[in-house]
A and B are shown apart, each in its own frame.
Chain A
Amino acid sequence: MSPMDASRPDPDELLERVQAQERASRRGRLTVFFGAAPGVGKTYAMLQAAREEASLPGSVLVGVVETHGRAETEALLFGLEVLPRREIDYRGVRLAELDLDAALARRPSLLLVDELAHTNAPGSRHPKRWQDVEEVLDAGIDVYTTLNVQHVESLTDVVARITGVVVRETVPDSVIERAHEVRLVDLPPDELIGRLNEGKVCLGDRAATAAEHFFRKGNLIALREMALRQTAAGVDRQMDEWRRDHGIERVWSPTDRIAVCVSPSPFSAQIVRAASRMAKGLHVPWFAVHVETPEYRRLPDAAKSRLAAHLRLATRLGAEVVVVPGERTAEAVLAFARGRGVTKIVVGKPRINRLRDRFRGSLVDEIVRGSGAIDVLATAGEGEPESVTAGPGGQKRAAAWPYLASAGIMVACATAARLLFGVDNIADSVMVLLLGVVVAALRLGYGPSLLAAGLSALAFDFAFTPPYFSFAMDHAPHVLTFVVMFVVAFVISHLARRARDQAQAAREREQRTAMLYAFTRELARTPGTEALAAVAAGEIAKALDGRVAVFVPDGAGGLRVLHRNRGEKPAGDEAAVARWAWEHERDAGLGTDTLPSTPGLYVPLVGSRGRVGVLAVTPVAPAALQDVSRRRLLDALATQTATAMERALLAEETQQVRLDAEREHLRNTLLGSVSHDLRTPLAGITGAASTLVADADTLPAATRRDLAQSIAEEADRLGRRVRDLLDMTRLESRAVELHREWQPVEEVIGAALAGMEGALAGREVRTAVAPDLPLVPIDAVLIEKALVNLLENAVKYSPPGTPIEVGAAGSQGEVVVWVADRGPGVPTGEESRVFEKFWRSRDAGNASVRAGGVGLGLAVCRAAVELHGGRIRVENLAEGGAAFRFSLPLRGTPPAVPTEDGEGSG
């Protein structure tokens, strides 16, 4: 085979490469094998379809397939590559899960993952298998999966109503909607029951009675209907998409928007589901709105975590979750609805007949009254209330002392009134008692104030109405006074409580606002991303009581910790969680759907131009972040941090651009300088050489020698400049590697002087090397170069015949080397500038200006010395001339050199 043939690409290989690229660039396609109930043959159908795709070896990978030991299903697995499961040890039970990382690393074109609704073992990356599948799809891998209708999130309550079985493993509707294809695997109920009786349906570990209940014919018919409907809805959606793609008018109003009111009530989850179904049916966007009223503060923790769960459910079902603060729920919801153009509000029907509703009307009534053009749909949660999650919520125990204080106040008031006014002046006495109620209501809280209200009425009865010091009452007007008094006291309690709550809420809002304001101002004052991260982490840690870390891209595709407060690293693989949050631009970790077992919450920092980093918050109390208002505060802080980081990054970029511009300017200066300084000697050489070529025969010998001499000199000059340029370029590009060796500077000085022999002819060179200098760790070639340049400089800038001094002396931890001349010295004020590139003395009378040169010699010196960690400077000597000194630090311990004990050799 000739070399040409060997390099020609194989067409198959090319095709494969193109396909691989396509795979990487697009999201994978999801095909769902959808059935009404277990046992309809979904897995079988999936495997059959996969076998058709498996024409290329290695293209199909079996991630998870449950054959339940059925022979015909197992037969279909033959010849397919099966990925080993990842075994997780959970409380002594070995659970085998899909090995997500192995599947992603293996990169098949098609991955088979049975039972989409499966819940992963605790400690897996995602709690749910459908989340694993999402990640596989995002990686551009196609997936075949199976799903039963009862696992569709929005249908679970309907299924529960039909079958009485509450399904806990659910898959969000959005996953199914985004599927490329939903293939219905259908089996008539009679046949399914037949298969069940033949033992062909695996019921797993489910209790047989429950299973029997589930597989009743009526249930199966209903489930089948739901599966068919669901599939039909999918087809409908495809039809709509096709119409849209082909420019056919949509049949629904594109402006419709739905808002659902979310509360901590256990029934709220069902209302959220109902709204989701409605929004899906109408193909419109929808919002889940929670109004944070002053009462929110008083909710028990269990209710707060229930509310958080409801909001998460809404997010999963595709809603945009909005939390608005407000005094009254109805007002706030309506204001939001108007602001966002919502056309339909879904709200739960009141279940409990509350006294307040009698007077003011229920929430539904309030909303309806103010709704105007907006439709209001009141829907009832059906069946048992769902408890989506039940976080461990400790009931707050009321302290006893406010009640005692309350009782004390009332006793004191009654006694005082009785002593002051006796029994005749009832009106004044009542006022004193009410004053006690007001004090109790304002100071001691709701419960004690109610107690005070009751006590005030009783005290009135006991001490001020005949018969005295008895609870009996024999005078009708007094009974009326008693009742009125109790009602007034009760109303005072209520009003006082309300005022206190509002004040408290206002104070909290105020604190939050002030905190955010201070935070923003602090960030605005802080320059640089690193300092910003430190400030932000400190403030956020203080505000949320936890440890905070800020991650930023490391420039190599990964993330690095830019700042972490309180040194220690939290347990768990935080880098992986941070990475996930970064890549998916979604929250991960504690309280989210991804790696919820992580101790921290990872929030991507997204600015206006894109993501800038990840914020990790590990709260001291894991439940702390469940609180909606705290989460909102965290989101606000994260947004501010992201904005500030983005600003800092932009500033850094601008700085970089400015530096680049400066470098560009320098490069232009260099080009100008170089072209001038290289052309001048070149012109001389060319002129002299061309004269020699043209007139070689006619020129007198002396002239010829003159011309040749000038060529040699100019070439020498040119050579030196090229050398300096090359040295500078190499030193600046950091291509120079230091070859440090321990050696005496005396030797390097000697080498430099020997190399300069020609140029130093006619000069007296005085050397002053201190005896017993230690060895220094230097690169002899570079330091010799620096010395040669300093010597050349001295020759250039001092009159011919004047002496030059070279010396070296030890100092603390370093050796100082100097070169001094007897020239005019360095112009005052230019002592540091002489080491800059392309510097030339402004002193036009200076002989050196004529000597010219690119002005790189001293810059090379400085670069060489600084590379060794030393410093170089110049000073004018009192006796005239300039002295250049550079230091060479003594780092490390010099190697030992054994001394000789022997005497002279004789």
Chain B
Amino acid sequence: MSDAGPLVLLVEDESQMRRFLRVCLAGRGFRLVESETGQDGLVQAATRNPDVVLLDLGLPDLDGVEVTRRLREWSQAPVIVISARGQEADKVAALDAGADDYLTKPFGVEELQARIRVALRHRERSAEHPEPVFEAGDLRVDLHRRQVYVGGTEVHLTPIEYKLLATLVRYAGRVITHRQLLTDVWGVAYATQTQYLRVFMGQLRHKLEADPAQPKHLLTEPGVGYRLRVE
């Protein structure tokens, strides 16, 4: 990462939105490249090599999902899509096409910064090795020893439960779609069997959460997937 702060490529056609993001990102030490169309965004991504891409799903020329797909053909830069409410299907499509995370309009600056931070961390980690131990609150997962602790007490997990948790840990802080999780844990043939995921996620919550109905670690993103909280 350069000294001048991470470079954010913002692909967004609404000028008010760009103005808000420009102000708040600049104030938090990010450098910014702006693009109004998908085509231009792709060009900018190729020439400027941004550290993270903020991509609006509703662009005038290209579908945001399509931009993500083309970008993924040659770039590993994290992509955070920005979408309106009620577009769960679009979000899932973008995530399955290779986007790393999403933000729903309207969103606050804190949320934006948290997402960018997670995205950047993943970028660094995937460049090196994944951290062997994950810690958040009272939860501690040791990936080397395959051990899970809640408040210092070891918790016994079934193989699938552990595999599910390990996958979430690998993407900690980021949203993972149902399809991604099902494919990673059960295999491609089970990509649509969401009830598997829901049942095992419930079991996992009962073992890891103080109140499974008010989870602090294993968060649900309705209609999209799950997220393991990092802080």
Task: Identify the A interface with B (CB < 8 A).
Answer: 715, 719, 723, 726, 730, 739, 741-744, 746-751, 753-754, 765, 767, 769, 775, 780-781, 784, 806, 894-895, 897-898, 900, 902-906
Contacts and interface: CB of A to CB of B under 8 A. Distances in A.
Contacts of B88: 781
9 contacts: A726-B86, A746-B202, A750-B205, A751-B220, A898-B196, A902-B159, A904-B156, A904-B158, A905-B161
Contacts of A730: 86
A781 B199 contact: no
Given A806-B213, A905-B146, A741 B196 contact: no
A458 to B, nearest CB: 103
Given A726-B86, A751-B222, A769-B212, A900 B195 contact: no
Contacts of A747: 198, 201-202, 205, 220
In the A-B complex, list the 10 residue pairs whose CB atoms are closest, starting with the nearest: A904-B156, A767-B213, A751-B220, A781-B223, A905-B162, A743-B198, A784-B222, A900-B158, A742-B195, A897-B199
A628 to B, nearest CB: 68
The winner among B162, B212, B219 for most chain A CB atoms within 10 A is: B212
Contact of A769 (B158, B159, B196, B213): B213
Interface residues of B, number: 32
A750 B214 contact: yes
B60 to A, nearest CB: 21
B213 A750 contact: yes
Contacts of A902: 158-160
Nearest to B160: A900
A781 B196 contact: no
Nearest to B193: A895
B59 interface: no
Contacts of A749: 213
Interface of B: 85-86, 88, 106, 146-147, 156-162, 193-196, 198-199, 201-202, 205, 211-215, 219-223
B158 A744 contact: no
Contact of B220 (A754, A894, A900): A754
B112 to A, nearest CB: 14
Contacts of A780: 220, 222-223
Nearest to A905: B162
Contacts of B211: 767
B202 A744 contact: yes
Nearest to A751: B220
A905 B163 CA distance: 10
B158 A894 contact: no
A906 B215 contact: no
A903 B158 contact: yes
A719 B157 CA distance: 42
Contact of B85 (A723, A897, A903): A723
B208 to A, nearest CB: 13
Contacts of A905: 146, 156-159, 161-162
B221 A900 contact: no
A775 B220 CA distance: 16
A238 B199 CA distance: 88
Contacts of B202: 744, 746-747
B184 to A, nearest CB: 16
A806 B219 CA distance: 18
A895 B197 CA distance: 12
Contacts of B214: 750, 753-754, 765, 767
Contacts of A719: 106
A313 to B, nearest CB: 69
A767 B162 CA distance: 26
Contacts of B223: 739, 780-781
